[in-house]
Structure formats: C-alpha cells, structure tokens
C-alpha cells in the first residue's frame, strides 16, 4: 500500500480517437420522416431546435402534467454538475429545468445495481459495507467473490484488490472465485475457482446453509458438540431463521411479552414449516421439530429461548409447508415448485449448480471455522451478479448467509456489494459543493413523487400510447409475455404498481395556490402535491369515464445511449419508437411523443431521436468530478473546444430555459429568476463554490491556485491505524452477553456505549423512496423485530401495497402489486427461495426452451469489457482494434468505420436544412470488419461445427446477432459470453451485426423490484 500505481487504461489512452472520431455530433439534427429512418434527418440551428423542443415540452406539460416529462438515467456524463452523476440526479435538467417547471418524472434506481439499490441491507440489517482494503489485509480469512469482475470493470480499485487478495493468500486464507468464467479477476486474485452454472447461486447458498444446519443439530434436535452455528446467537439476534411465536417487544428494554402491551411493538409469528430453516431442510427432515425452546445450551438458556418456550410455538421448526399441497412436488407446473419442499442439501445443489457436493461442504466448514477463529469472512458481489431475474433473492440469500454464520462484526468481514477494496486515506481533501443555478441552492427539489423503475420506462410510454401504437403497426412480438389482447391505454405491463400510478392526478390547493419556486422553498413534502379524496386516495382527473393517462410522453437523455443500446430488448424499443405518434411539423401538438437526445457521438440511440443534439465531451467543458479511490475530487478545466456547434448540457439547458420563459414568463418565472436570466457559467459557479468553502480557501488560498492544483491524492493509512467497523461493537457486546447467564434481553447489553442492538428496519424502502408510506393507504404494516431479519414480511407487504394511494381509480384487487401466480402461490416470498431459471425464460421468451434435451440453449453472459465503458468507446478506432474481431479471429482493422457516417459540413455559412446521407455502423463485407466476440467453451463449439474465428449467429425468440467465435477453456460448458456495449446495428433481416447483447435480452423484469434482468439471457448458436 506504500506506493500504489494508478495508470491510464486503454480507454483513457485512446481518448483522442473518441474526441476526433468521424462519428462526432457537430450540429443539431431533426427527424422529419419516421423515427429510425436515417434519411429523414435534416440539419437545423440550435435556435430552431430549442424553440421547437420548448414548445413540445410546454404543450405536453400543460395538458398531461409534469409527470409526463421523463428524465432518463444516464442523462449526463459522470460528475456532480454538468455531467449529472451516474443517474442524472444532479444534471442541469434534473436540478433546475425539471423542478422549476413544476417537477418531472425521474427513474427509480439504476441499470447498474437496480436490485441492490432496491433491496439494500435494510430489510435484513446485514453489515460490512464499510470495509476497506486495510481491514481486509488485516483480518479477512476468507473472501468470496460472487460474480466479481473487479479488475475489468473498476480499474481505480484494481491495485487495492490485488494487494488485498495477495495478503489474504499469504496469510493462509482462501479467495473463492464464484463464477462460470475464469477471467483476469479470478486468475489474479483467487485460490479456488468454483465453477457454478449461471443463475443457480441461490441454490448453492441454500446448500451451504443446509450443511451448516445439519452440522449444528442432530436428528433428534439436540445440538452437536462442535456445532457449526451459534444457536444462542440465532435465538437472540436473528428473526425468521427458526419458527417463533407472535410476541410483543419493548424497544427500550428489550422485554418480550406474549400478549399485547401498551408501548410494545408487535412481531409477527413465524409458524413451524414456514421459517427459513424449515425451507432449507425440506419436508422430510424433522430435526427442528425436536429442537425445543427452553432447552439448555452448555448449561444456560438464553432469554428469547426461555420466553418462546412459554408459548404454543415451543419448537424451532417443522417440516417445510411452503406452497400448496396441490401445486408442489414432482408434477408441479412450475419448475421451482418441484423442489420447493425438498431438502436443499449439497447433493441436491450439485445437480443444479454443477458444483461438487464435497466443495459445497468444504465452503460451509471454511466459513464457520474462519468465524470461530475470529477472522473475517467477506462476501463481495459485483453489480453484474445481481443484474438477473432473481437479483433481490440473490442479495437476500447472500446477506442471510453472512448473518446466519455470524460472519460479520470483525474487521474484514460481512457483506459488500459493488466496488470493494477502497482504502482509508489520511488526507481529507476539501470538496466543493457545485451550485447549479442560484448560488444559495445546490439542487431544487423535484415535487413529482412518481418513480418508474429505470428499466420499466417503456411500459410508461405504452401505458399512455397503447392505442396509437396498435394503430401504427406496433406488434409487441418481441415481448411474448405482454398480453396484446389487453393492450390499450392504461395497460400496465408486468402489472407494475409504479406504472399504474401514471394517470393525471388533481393538484392540491397548496400546490395550485403557490408559485413553483415558493412551493419548493417552503419545503412542502412531495406527497402534498396532489388532492386527497374522501377515500384516502389521490383524486384523478377524468376524461369521460376514463382517467387521463399521463404516462411518459416526453423523454430527455444526455450522454447515455441507454434508450436503444443499453436498455434490454433493443428490438422492441426500436419498434415502439417507430410506431409512436410523431408530428414533426407541429411542435405545439401535445398528443405526440417526443424524444430528445444530446450526445457526443451519433450512437444507435441518437438514430431514433426526434432531435439529435451535439454535446461536448469531458475535455471540452469545465467541471469538477468525484474521483475514485485516492482522487476524491478533481477540477477538470476545459482543454479544447468542442467540434462544430456542440454544446455542454449547461449551455443546452440554458437555451431551453430561455425559450420556455418566452412561451410563458408567468408559469416559468422561477426558472427565469433562478437560471435563465442569470449570467452564470460553469467556471463562475465553481468559483462561487470555492469562495464559499473555508477549507478550500485554507488549502489552496486562491481560486487560481485551485485551478492549477485541483487534483490531490490522499495517502493510505497504515494497516494498524485503519479504523475498525462501527458494527464490531455490537458483536463484542453479544459475546460479552454470552458470557453471562443470558437471563436479561440482549438489547440492554452494553459495551460502554449504552443500548446498541437497536436495528429496527424502519429505513426499509421501496420504489417510492424512504417516505414510501406517504403513498400507501393501508398502514397496518408488519413491524421489524429489532433483530436481524432472514425472513421479511415487511418486504412482501411493501411490494403488495406499493404506490396504492395513486391507484384509487382501479378496483381494490388491482391496486398495488399483485402477489399471486396463476395457482395462488406467492410471486414474492418472505425468504429467498430458489426460483428455477427455466420458469423465467418460459415466461420471457414465450416457450420452454429447455424441453428439448438434444438442443438446449446456452446461458449467455453480458459482462463488461475492459475496452469500453458500457457502450462508450465502441466508436473509437483505436479501441476497436483491441475489442473487436474480424472473421478468421484476427483483430479488427476497420478503423475507418465511421469515416462517412456523418458528412463534414463546412464551419462557415453551413447549409442548414441539408438532408444527410447516413451509413450503417458495421461495414459488413469490408476487409477487417470488426464484430463482437462470442466466447465459448471449445467442446461446445466443436459439437456445433464451430471453429475459432468463425462468424456465428447467436439467437433466441426475440433477437439475433452476428459475432465472431472465440474459444477458451476459461468458459464453463453450456455458457457463452457476449460482452455488453456493442452498438445495435440490425441488417435488412433484423440480425444485429453490431452484436448488442440487449438485442437478446427480454423485457420481463426482475422479481420484486421490477428491474433489469440483463444477465438472464439464453441463446442458441450456429455457424453463420
């Protein structure tokens, strides 16, 4: 750690190729024919573009409300101001234009970590996210890398990852690489490659926990002498692992009562047969029915065990009863229900995961032995790992494993999602708060409380325009599980509760009687925006006997390429955009759809825009960005001018604000006073931030010095000086408690800091944010138990009631989210059930692709590639040589691929309204034409008659792509890998020569959070 090396990767080194790529956008373009028709684009002035966009924006807003305006994820490049942060929350539009126009629709969560952002750790209380590389080096004994591709996808943390893993190995620890592929992360970091089948991780985790259980309890219910698990800990600190009675708890004293008491919180019963342990052991193992509460363990009975023994629920479990007797078992209609009540043994899991039962048993023992030795067990999962159809269950199961095994509470232990390996630094660098407009505010509150999942925005568009889409030829053929017989305005795909909220609600008198700026400045809660009817639901504006379906009607993106390329099911998105109502000659028509895209390059997404606007790149505008690792914040001065007439997001939104004010100076008065009429520039706003920051002035003295020296590396602290985890005190307190007779509640146990075990789960959240209860009418919700939860009734209740306050226009049974399948069993359980992947694909692709044992599909992974940042740099000639392959398997040489994609107009007196001749993005037939690589196991390829370097067709029921086969024994059998980010480029037959992995990805959302299942893809492969 004394001399970390941070060096530029291939992307940064090739940045000049991106800046000067012939695909750079230089002038505003307007579509005049049909979205997606390249011959319909004409060049226009910025003034014409922004005047027309302002007209469309205002017309839609006034007729359908602010909630019809949607600012999509990636609306801004990385950075706190102009570039807008990862999801655009701080972008100029999101911080100024949207709020000061009355609000806007912003997406919930993000494509990178949708399930993780939704589930968090608040449903379980899992610990460990503040681990650092120093703590890992100091004490981690076992590191589990669940789907981690850290060295490829997070370059700033690569050195820390390598040194952390090396130290763990040098001390005799284990680093387990849990993945169907062995790429550089596994090769460099791991001691063990656990080669498991995709989409089976929950089965594997269940089997690990099974092994722990059977090595804790004997068949007669007694506890083994050298038990794997700490039963006193499970009784005292973990809710839902064992069966337990309904009880009431005093959150101050921890006292338990079996009858209702004033001031006590009710905790739901967990009936025998329905606990998490019962699910794990199945319906043939009865040992927990023999494990009685109140029985001494090592001569002592813990407080909870004694109190529970006084109830009718005197044992810790029973045979599994999940599902209905007539829907589970060998003849079940759903694959997962065949195994629902089976024992989740290592032998059972081996047949699903492909991991030998002996390895599963070894992992279980390693975890428990490491915990007993006081060493850390750290579970690190990547964003990609949870980006699958069962992402929430993945996270739920992994957190449960950490909790149940007591694998937290010491340095280098716990559960860590996304980028681990950050270091603790002893240098605190002053950070500037970059103001957006008025210098007194960094951001303006958005007053529209409705939030679609970022992956369900397309359903919001269809909710409004289903009738027009059908009239214009939209078939829905790329979404087999969308019911086209019910496809009409108000149709909510996947019965999504957020989408069902997209009707126009009546504004409250508080909102109507205030100016927009006053309403924001008075800090009104967004829940006060709408009028509440006598039934407790928000009142809806009606059009005859139907609601006004606001839906999503205006979409703005900046620097994302997300709409077409990075959103699942590119084919459906393209068909939808082409069939949406389009009025290019009538910008004041409120009944059309409008899509505005600003970007640096003419990406696939730009090709389906109504207005394609040229944006500036990082080096062409001034900003400050939050760095990674040691570089906490960086001042980035403008280095060169952007090409042609390109503008930054700041300049573009400034111009939009000007024309909105011209349309209605009264309505947009706040926008005018706070932004449009001001003379701020990005640099002047940064200077204001500097002058308002005493720490910054103390560090740099003058703004001029800051501009010269706005990048400082922090110095990592020594291993022994690193701060330990705050949660360690809780485990220390419990261990102290165990040394007592345990006759008092643990919640009063002290470690010199008073009451410490106070986790209550009240920060649990749903797609409407932390204040979700504002949008729920039924407030008879289950409460948390002040213990860890490996079973969550709260999560299920929130799912079923989500956003119901917006649904007063619907029958009662259609409000919230439906939580029963067609057999009456839950869609979302209160424990992490293993859902067989075949059920998802049967729904998503409209047929059972696994029925034919002679032609089973491959699991396809869509991981990051080191030569791109998502889809960015696909256009760089220098990077294409590294990441693309020509037929025959050699590196691509199509470095002039974009030479004539956009004509090079003269800079002086340009010929406005000149029609463009635009080419496809893949030069098929040209020597050295580059394709994406499809990585596969050699034995799989040979069975298909495929050789390394062959052009192959990769397909499934919703899409087809061309790729060049690359063979490697680092790929598990039955698995292919098509890196995400290739640019969507379908030929005349609909085969995507650009190799976009989302061409193959279904629209069917993830369970529970309704996010993006972009790692749940199966394909067939044949030689092209």
The stretch 359-387 carries a mean pLDDT of 95
Confirm if 300 and 226 have CB atoms less than 8 A apart.
no
pLDDT of residue 278: 98
Please name which of 547, 1011, 1006, 1004 lies closest in space to residue 806, comparing C-alpha atoms. Answer: 547
* DSSP helix/strand/coil, 996: coil
The mean predicted confidence, pLDDT, of the chain is 89
* Domain ranges across the chain: 28-111+450-484+496-520+553-624+635-678, 837-1023
Residue 82 pLDDT:
47
Question: E strands within 281-423?
Answer: 376-381, 414-417
| CATH classification for the domain delimited by 28-111+450-484+496-520+553-624+635-678, as one of 2.60.120.380, 3.40.50.740, 3.40.50.920, 3.30.260.10 | 3.40.50.740
Q: Is the pLDDT of residue 685 over 80?
A: yes
pLDDT in tens, 275-286: 999 999 999 999
- Helix (H/G/I), strand (E/B), else coil: 965: strand
Q: Quick one: pLDDT at residue 964?
A: 97
What is each CA distance from 242 to 177, 279, 791, in whole angstroms? 31, 10, 10
By C-alpha distance, which of 169, 167, 186 is closest to 177?
186
Q: What's the confidence (pLDDT) of residue 84?
A: 39
Q: Which residues, at least 6 apart from 257, have a Cβ–Cβ distance to it below 8 Å?
A: 247, 248, 249, 250, 264
| Yes or no: domain 837-1023 corresponds to CATH 3.40.50.300 | no
pLDDT in tens, 904-963: 554 444 555 566 566 667 778 777 888 999 999 999 999 999 999 999 999 999 999 999
Task: List CB contacts of 332: < 8 A, sequence separation 6 or more.
Answer: 338, 340
Q: Tell me, what's the pLDDT at 901? A: 53
- Could you give the angle at the alpha carbon of 883 between the alpha carbons of 882 and 888, nearest 5°? 90
Rounded to the nearest 5°, which phi and psi values hold at 232?
-60, -40
- Which residues are CB-contacts of 751 (< 8 A; sequence separation ≥ 6)? 729, 730, 732, 733, 736
Own/partner contacts of 656-662, CB < 8 Å, gap of 24 or more, are 656/50, 656/53, 656/54, 656/57, 656/97, 657/96, 657/97, 658/50, 659/50, 659/51, 659/53, 659/54, 659/55, 660/54, 660/57, 660/58, 660/97, 660/101, 662/54
**pLDDT score recorded for residue 78:** 38
The reported pLDDT for the residue numbered 94 is: 84
Average pLDDT over residues 208-229: 97
Q: Which pLDDT does position 418 carry in this prediction?
A: 61
Task: Kindly report, residue by residue over 478-509, the tens digit of the pLDDT.
Answer: 999 999 999 999 999 999 999 999 999 999 99
CA distances from 640 to 20, 559, 613, 637 (A): 12, 19, 19, 9
pLDDT average, residue stretch 364-387: 95
Residue 77 scores a pLDDT above 60:
no
Assign 168 a pLDDT band (cuts: 50, 70, 90): very high
pLDDT at 899: 52
Q: Quick one: average pLDDT of 7-30?
A: 83
- What's the chain's Rg over C-alpha atoms? 29
Nearest Cα to Cα of residue 674 among 515, 488, 808, 804: 515
Neighbours of 892 (CB within 10 A): 21
Strand runs (DSSP E) across 80-179, as ranges? 105-106, 140-146, 174-178
Q: What is the share, in percent, of the chain residues with pLDDT greater than 90?
A: 65
Q: For residues 789 and 786, what is the distance between their CA atoms, to the nearest angstrom?
A: 9
The model's pTM is 0.95
- Distance (Å, rounded) from C-alpha 280 to C-alpha 206? 6
The answer on pLDDT for 758 being more than 70 is: no
Q: What was the pLDDT predicted at 380? A: 92
pLDDT bin (cut points 50, 70, 90) of residue 768 is: very low
- What is the average pLDDT across 352-374? 98
Cβ pair 43, 34 in contact under 8 A: no
3-state secondary structure of 237: helix
The answer to whether 592 and 981 have CB atoms below 8 angstroms apart is no
Q: What is the DSSP letter of 601?
A: B
Q: Which of 732, 731, 755 has the alpha carbon at shortest distance from 744?
A: 755
Q: Which of 19-33, 276-290, 304-318, 327-341 has the lowest mean pLDDT?
A: 19-33
At 599-616, the pLDDT tens digits run: 998 899 999 999 999 999
> Tens of pLDDT along 45-69?
999 999 999 999 999 999 999 999 9
In which band, very low, low, confident or very high, does the pLDDT at 5 lie, cut at 50, 70 and 90? low
Q: With bands split at pLDDT 50, 70 and 90, how would you rate the model's confidence at 75? A: low
Q: Are strands 69-71 and 105-106 parallel, antiparallel or unpaired?
A: parallel
- Residue 122 reports pLDDT greater than 90: no
Residue 751 has pLDDT above 60, yes or no: no
Which of 25-29, 149-153, 434-438, 810-814: highest mean pLDDT?
810-814
């Amino acid at each position: 750690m004394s001399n970390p090396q941070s060096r530029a990767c291939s992307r940064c080194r090739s940045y000049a190729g991106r800046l000067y790529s012939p695909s750079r956008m230089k002038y505003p373009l307007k579509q005049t024919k049909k979205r997606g028709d390249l011959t319909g684009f004409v060049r226009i002035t910025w003034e014409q573009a922004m005047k027309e966009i302002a007209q469309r924006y205002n017309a839609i807003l006034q007729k359908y409300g602010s909630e019809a305006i949607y600012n999509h994820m990636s609306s801004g490049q990385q950075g706190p101001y102009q570039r807008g942060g990862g999801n655009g929350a701080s972008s100029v539009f999101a911080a100024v234009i949207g709020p000061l126009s009355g609000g806007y629709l912003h997406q919930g969560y993000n494509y990178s970590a949708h399930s993780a952002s939704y589930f968090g750790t608040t449903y379980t209380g899992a610990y460990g996210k503040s681990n650092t590389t120093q703590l890992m080096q100091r004490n981690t004994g076992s590191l589990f890398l669940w789907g981690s591709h850290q060295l490829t996808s997070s370059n700033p943390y690569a050195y820390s990852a390598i040194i952390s893993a090396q130290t763990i190995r040098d001390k005799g620890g284990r680093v387990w690489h849990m993945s169907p592929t062995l790429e550089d992360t596994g090769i460099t970091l791991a001691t063990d490659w656990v080669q498991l089948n995709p989409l089976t991780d929950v089965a594997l985790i269940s089997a690990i926990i099974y092994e722990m259980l059977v090595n804790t309890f004997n068949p007669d219910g007694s506890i083994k002498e050298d038990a794997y698990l700490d039963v006193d800990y499970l009784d005292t600190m973990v809710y839902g692992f064992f069966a337990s009675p309904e009880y009431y708890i005093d959150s101050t004293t921890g006292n338990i009562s079996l009858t209702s008491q004033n001031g006590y919180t009710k905790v739901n019963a967990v009936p025998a047969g329905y606990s998490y342990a019962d699910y794990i052991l199945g319906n043939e193992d009865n040992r927990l029915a023999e494990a009685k509460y109140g029985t001494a363990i090592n001569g002592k009975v813990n407080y909870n065990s004694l109190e529970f023994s006084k109830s009718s629920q005197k044992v810790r479990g029973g045979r599994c009863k999940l599902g209905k007797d007539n829907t589970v078992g060998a003849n079940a209609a759903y694959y997962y229900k065949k195994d629902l009540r089976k024992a989740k043994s290592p032998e059972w899991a081996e047949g699903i995961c492909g991991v030998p039962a002996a390895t599963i048993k070894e992992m279980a023992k390693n975890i428990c032995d490491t915990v007993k030795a006081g060493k850390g067990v750290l579970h690190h999962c990547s964003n990609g790992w949870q980006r699958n159809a069962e992402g929430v269950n993945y996270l739920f199961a992994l957190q449960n494993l950490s909790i149940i095994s007591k694998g937290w509470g010491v340095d280098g232990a716990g559960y860590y999602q996304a980028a681990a390996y950050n270091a603790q630094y002893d240098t605190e660098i002053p950070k500037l708060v970059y103001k957006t407009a008025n210098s007194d505010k960094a951001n303006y509150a958005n007053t529209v409380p409705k939030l679609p999942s970022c992956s369900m925005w397309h359903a919001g568009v269809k909710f409004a325009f289903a009738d027009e889409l059908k009239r214009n030829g939209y078939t829905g053929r790329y979404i087999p599980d969308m019911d086209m017989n019910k496809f009409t305005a108000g149709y909510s795909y996947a019965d999504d509760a957020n989408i069902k909220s997209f009707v126009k609600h009546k504004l409250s008198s508080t909102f109507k009687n205030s100016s927009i700026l006053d309403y924001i400045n008075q800090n009104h809660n967004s829940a006060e925006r709408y009028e509440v009817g006598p039934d407790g639901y928000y009142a809806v504006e009606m059009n005859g006997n139907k609601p006004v379906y606001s839906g999503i009607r205006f979409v703005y993106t900046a620097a994302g390429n997300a709409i077409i390329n990075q959103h699942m099911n590119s084919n459906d998105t393209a068909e939808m955009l082409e069939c949406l109502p389009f009025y290019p000659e009538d910008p004041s028509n409120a009944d059309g759809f409008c899509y505005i895209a600003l970007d640096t390059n003419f990406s696939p997404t730009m090709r389906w825009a109504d207005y394609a606007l040229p944006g500036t790149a990082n080096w062409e505008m001034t900003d400050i960005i939050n760095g990674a690792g040691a570089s906490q914040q960086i001042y980035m001065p403008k280095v060169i001018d952007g090409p042609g007439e390109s503008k930054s997001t700041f300049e573009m939104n400034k111009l939009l604000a000007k024309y909105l004010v011209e349309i209605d100076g009264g309505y947009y008065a706040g926008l005018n006073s706070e932004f449009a009429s001001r003379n701020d520039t990005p640099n002047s706003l940064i200077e204001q931030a500097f002058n308002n920051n005493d720490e910054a002035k103390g560090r740099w003295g003058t703004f001029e010095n800051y501009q010269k020296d706005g990048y400082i590396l922090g110095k990592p602290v020594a291993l022994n000086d690193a701060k330990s985890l705050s949660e360690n005190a809780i485990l220390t307190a419990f261990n102290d408690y165990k040394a007592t007779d345990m006759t008092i509640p643990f919640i009063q146990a002290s470690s010199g800091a008073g009451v410490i075990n106070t986790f209550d789960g009240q920060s649990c959240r749903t797609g409407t944010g932390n204040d979700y209860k504002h949008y729920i009418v039924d407030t008879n919700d289950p409460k948390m138990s002040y213990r860890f939860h490996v079973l969550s009734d709260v999560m299920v209740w929130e799912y079923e009631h989500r956003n119901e306050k917006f649904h007063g226009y619907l029958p009662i049974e259609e409000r919230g989210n439906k939580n029963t399948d067609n057999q009456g069993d839950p869609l979302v359980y209160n424990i992490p059930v293993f859902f067989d992947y075949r059920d998802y694909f049967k729904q998503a692709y409209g047929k059972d692709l696994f029925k034919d044992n002679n032609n089973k599909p491959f699991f396809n992974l869509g991981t990051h590639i080191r030569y791109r940042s998502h889809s960015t740099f696909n256009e760089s000639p220098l990077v294409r040589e590294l990441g693309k392959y020509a037929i025959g398997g050699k590196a691509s040489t199509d470095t002039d691929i974009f030479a004539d994609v956009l004509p090079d107009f003269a800079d002086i007196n340009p010929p406005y309204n000149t029609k463009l001749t635009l080419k496809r993005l893949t030069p098929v037939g040209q020597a050295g034409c580059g394709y994406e690589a499809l990585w596969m196991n050699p034995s799989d390829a040979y069975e298909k008659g495929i050789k390394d370097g062959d052009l192959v067709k990769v397909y499934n029921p919703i899409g087809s792509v061309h790729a060049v086969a690359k063979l490697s024994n680092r790929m598990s059998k039955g698995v292919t890998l098509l890196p995400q980010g290739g640019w969507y480029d379908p030929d005349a037959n609909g085969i995507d020569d650009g190799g976009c992995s989302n061409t193959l990805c279904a629209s069917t959302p993830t369970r529970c959070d309704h996010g993006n299942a972009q790692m749940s893809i199966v394909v067939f492969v044949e030689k092209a």
